[in-house]
């Protein structure tokens, strides 16, 4: 599905949406902790709270705008309901593909997310029935207010019903399905593990400024990040303007993205890039020292920036997709704040180990980590190539070049000489 050349301006106040995003996730974490839910239910509750807050703050105004601006199409009700039925057939086929994938591939069958869903069947069945009813209502309302109701879901339905269809829309739907299925399972599983860690080792039970305290805060930040990410992969609702405009189509773009996640990165890391092995930071930095505190604050700050970047996306977070151009939060200062913060964190955290490993081994490990950073650089470039098809992103790139963090630093370091 090609990106529209019309500028896609995101509505709503970015600060309000970011605040709602943070509050919704924290409410979910607090409720799951207070109710002492097992990690699977806790993750489901946290994501549900997040989605409800997003719908209330950002989704409801979007529905009002779509309803007031809708075009009253002059078509027979039978034709509209026939199209809605076709869309539901396409949606059922896509969900069937998800069920098959989660039943066949070990990555899914062995994941905590899928295992929890199967084990909680007595709970999830009535929820699934409720969601099915809500889905039918959602498809009908979205069809009514959409500017162009003949979307990719309709084309998938036509393909399933063996009618003429647009191949590019069906391929778009399949790419989107793979992205949502893979990353939602990955993030939900990560949330289950992070909630389990939070229950076993919460930051607040450790002495402030201790190593365990800093590690607890980082685990909390990671939990917040995966909850936001899981919510983003669910919230691809066109009715709320959270839909996917385009997906990555190049093999290189998919490769440099997927290689950064399980199950690919751990296998490659242990086989070729074991930069994290070797002596720990304890052999170089003494816990409780001023250097340790500064070092820990720096690494924690990188984690905060990384999570802030996810918060800035709100319900539009996703990999390998274009869902609107984000220019708020840390994206006001730099194009890829999450990648930059993550890589700085890795270098800060690994540096003591490089020093303790000796010159030759430390240099080799640093070279291995440099390869990882190069992968992220290639990933950033691939994303820029995809998004640059949107004129709004090209304007954003020009704005960052003129007013971003690097531009401000250059002006301070080399101020323009006064004219004579």
Task: Report pLDDT for 124.
Answer: 67
Task: Report pLDDT for 66.
Answer: 84
Task: Report pLDDT for 11.
Answer: 64
Is 118 within a domain? no
> Would you state the structure tokens that stand for residue 54, as one six-digit string?
């997003």
Whether this prediction's pTM lies above 0.75 is answered by yes
Q: How many domains does the chain fold into?
A: 1
Is 198 within a domain? yes
Task: Report pLDDT for 415.
Answer: 63
Splitting the chain (420 residues) into consecutive groups of 10 residues, what average pLDDT does each group show? 46 86 96 94 96 95 86 84 96 95 93 90 75 91 90 96 96 97 96 93 91 93 96 95 95 96 85 72 87 95 96 96 94 96 94 87 89 95 96 95 90 65
Is 365 within a domain? yes
Residue numbers of the domain that contains 213? 14-71+190-405
Is 77 within a domain? no
b (16+ CB within 10 A) / e for 68-91: eeeeeeeeeeeeeeebbebbbbbb
Is 206 within a domain? yes
Is 251 within a domain? yes
Is 76 within a domain? no
Task: Report pLDDT for 71.
Answer: 77
Is 230 within a domain? yes
Task: Report pLDDT for 10.
Answer: 66
Peptide bond preceding 263 in cis form (omega within 30 of 0):
yes
Task: Report pLDDT for 2.
Answer: 42
């Amino acid at each position: 599905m090609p990106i529209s050349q019309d500028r896609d301006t995101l509505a709503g106040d970015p600060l309000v949406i970011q605040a709602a995003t943070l509050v919704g996730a924290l409410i979910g974490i607090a409720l799951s902790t207070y109710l002492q839910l097992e990690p699977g239910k806790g993750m489901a509750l946290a994501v549900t709270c997040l989605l409800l807050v997003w719908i209330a703050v950002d989704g409801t105004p979007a529905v009002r705008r779509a309803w007031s601006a809708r075009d009253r199409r002059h078509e027979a009700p039978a034709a509209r309901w026939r199209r809605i039925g076709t869309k539901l057939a396409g949606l059922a086929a896509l969900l069937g593909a998800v069920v098959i994938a989660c039943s066949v591939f070990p990555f899914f069958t062995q994941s905590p997310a899928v295992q929890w869903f199967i084990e909680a069947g007595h709970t999830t069945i009535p929820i699934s029935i409720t969601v099915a009813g809500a889905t039918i209502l959602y498809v009908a309302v979205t069809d009514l207010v959409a500017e162009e109701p003949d979307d990719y879901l309709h084309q998938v339905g036509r393909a399933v019903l063996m009618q003429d269809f647009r191949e590019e829309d069906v391929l778009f739907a399949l790419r989107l399905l793979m992205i949502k299925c893979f990353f939602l399972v990955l993030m939900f599983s990560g949330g289950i593990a992070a909630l389990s860690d939070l229950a076993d080792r919460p930051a607040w039970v450790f002495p402030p400024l201790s190593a365990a305290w800093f590690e607890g805060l980082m685990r909390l930040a990671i939990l917040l990040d995966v909850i936001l990410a899981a919510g983003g992969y669910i919230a691809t609702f066109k009715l709320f303007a959270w839909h996917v405009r385009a997906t990555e189509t190049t093999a290189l773009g998919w490769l440099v993205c997927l290689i950064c996640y399980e199950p690919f990165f751990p296998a490659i890391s242990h086989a070729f890039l074991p930069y994290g092995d070797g002596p720990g930071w304890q052999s170089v930095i003494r816990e409780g020292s001023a250097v340790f505190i500064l070092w820990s604050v720096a690494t924690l700050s990188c984690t905060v920036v990384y999570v802030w970047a996810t918060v800035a996306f709100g319900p539009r977070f996703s990999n390998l997709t274009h869902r609107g151009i984000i220019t708020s939060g840390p994206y006001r200062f730099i194009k890829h704040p999450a990648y930059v913060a993550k890589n700085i964190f890795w270098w800060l955290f690994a540096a003591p180990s490089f020093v303790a490993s000796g010159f030759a081994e430390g240099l080799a490990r640093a070279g291995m980590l440099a390869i990882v950073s190069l992968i992220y650089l290639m990933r950033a470039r691939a994303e820029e190539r995809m998004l640059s098809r949107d004129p709004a992103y090209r304007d954003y790139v020009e704005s960052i070049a003129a007013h971003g963090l690097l531009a401000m630093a250059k002006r301070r370091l080399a101020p323009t000489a006064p004219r004579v």
